[in-house]
Amino acid sequence: MNTLTTACAVAFAACALSANADTRPDSHAPISVMGEHTHKKGELMFSYRYMHMSMQGSRDGTSAISPEETVSTVANRFAAPPTLRIVPVDMTVDMHMVGAMYAPSDSITLMAMSSYITKEMDHITFMGAAGTTQLGTFTTKTDGIGDTSLSALIRLPGERLHATLGVSLPTGDIEQTDDILTPMNTRPTLRLPYPMQLGSGTYDLIAGLTYSGDNGSWGWGAQWRSLFRFGENDENYTLGDEHRMQGWISYLAHPSLSLSGRVGYFDRGNIDGIDSAISGPVQTADPDRQGVQRVDVGLGANFLFPGARHRLALEASVPIAQDLDGPQLETDWSLTLGWQLAL
């Protein structure tokens, strides 16, 4: 930015626009994208994001599968009964994410993020060891702090290109329990399946690369970001690695408002190992029914308040394709709202 500022001192009007790139609402990516901008030396930023995700109905591969079909045809990996007997029908995830960014120099921005997560899942329990007679329904709920990430965003040669290198700390609990309804009509309190837990239980590596640019009323960007899981947690398993590839464009509708479109690809692997306290005739308890490949599209808006200190942003996204190691609940839509304060 220094050489650019010097060049701007020569007073090219067009240059002033790009030199003030961070006073444009679209100098930040759509709000669902993490760690996509850097700061100049001494800048400090706080952020709060609220994310809601809604999942309803299950898929096996790319096809929908009904609860009745699941309990008639899908094998139970645990000894007995032979097929699954409990089927999750919907799930919501609500996350309150807080973050801080600080740039000790123009070339490095440090970022810390953590979250408070609430998960809720509704299920149908089918009676006994076979057949499609429903016994009843039940809901499980967990909430608490999720994993915490510490990252360095390192600017690379080029106008707006940076690498991300970080670690995700296992601050999220992986021993959450709740009451369930069994096919034998009992209601024990058990450790809940993997999708209801709040963290990975392992120290994970975050790596990524982000590019962005703008010209006139248009802006664009692309990001790769992965989460590599290392070692095994205390319960003897490792969550699957996660990889995200995203591309976005934005249009400056007003000096304070930009509108964005985003396409994102998400890939998550299955679980390696197994928690001996998690079992039962339900798809979510199977470490081999956790893998996801999904393409999402999102529409969003960024609003920059006069003075360029406060930003508000929102984005709604829906999947346009998903392939699940199922049966597994499918994602239907998600919404992210965010507030950012630069100091």
Alpha-carbon distance of 157 to 297, in angstroms, equals 30
- Chosen residue from 86, 101, 181, 239 binding Cu ion by CB under 5 A: 101
Taking the least distance from each CB to Cu ion, the nearer of 29 and 71 is 29
The reply to whether 117 sits near Cu ion by the rule CB under 5 A is no
> Given the complex with Cu ion, which of 45 and 282 has the nearer CB atom?
45
* 223-282 residues near Cu ion, rule: CB under 5 A: none
Nearer to Cu ion, 333 or 339 (CB): 339
- Give the shortest CB-46-to-Cu ion separation in angstroms: 9
Closest separation in Å from C-beta 109 to Cu ion: 7
Only segment of 43-51, 73-81, 113-121, 257-265 that touches Cu ion (CB under 5 A): 43-51
- For residue 211, how many C-alpha atoms fall within 13 Å in the half-sphere facing its CB? 5
CB of residue 265 vs Cu ion: minimum separation in angstroms? Answer: 24
Give the shortest CB-101-to-Cu ion separation in angstroms.
4
Q: Are 48 and 341 in contact (CB under 8 A)?
A: no
Q: Which residue is nearest to Cu ion (CB)?
A: 45
Which residue number, 101 or 117, has a Cβ lying nearer to Cu ion? Answer: 101
- Please answer whether residues 174 and 199 qualify as being in contact, where contact means their C-beta atoms are separated by less than 8 angstroms: yes
**Which residue stretch of 37-45, 51-59, 196-204, 272-280 sits at the interface with Cu ion (rule: CB under 5 A)?**
37-45
Smallest gap, in angstroms, from Cβ of residue 103 to Cu ion? 9
The one-letter code for the residue type at 166 is G
Instruction: Choose between 153 and 292: whose C-beta lies nearer to Cu ion.
Output: 153
Q: Which CB atom, from 12 or from 305, has the smaller least distance to Cu ion?
A: 305
Judged by CB under 5 A, the residue of 45, 91, 97, 153 near Cu ion is 45
Q: How far is the CB of 6 from Cu ion (least distance, A)?
A: 24
- What is d(CA 238, CA 335) in angstroms, rounded to the nearest whole number? 28
Should residue 113 be labelled a site residue for Cu ion when binding is judged by CB under 5 A? Answer: no
Compute the least distance from the CB of residue 43 to Cu ion, in Å. Answer: 8
Considering CB under 5 A, how many residues would be counted as binding Cu ion?
Answer: 2
- Which amino acid is residue 73, in one-letter code? T
Task: Compare residues 101 and 301 and give the one whose CB is closer to Cu ion.
Answer: 101
Binding-site ranges for Cu ion (CB under 5 A)? 45, 101
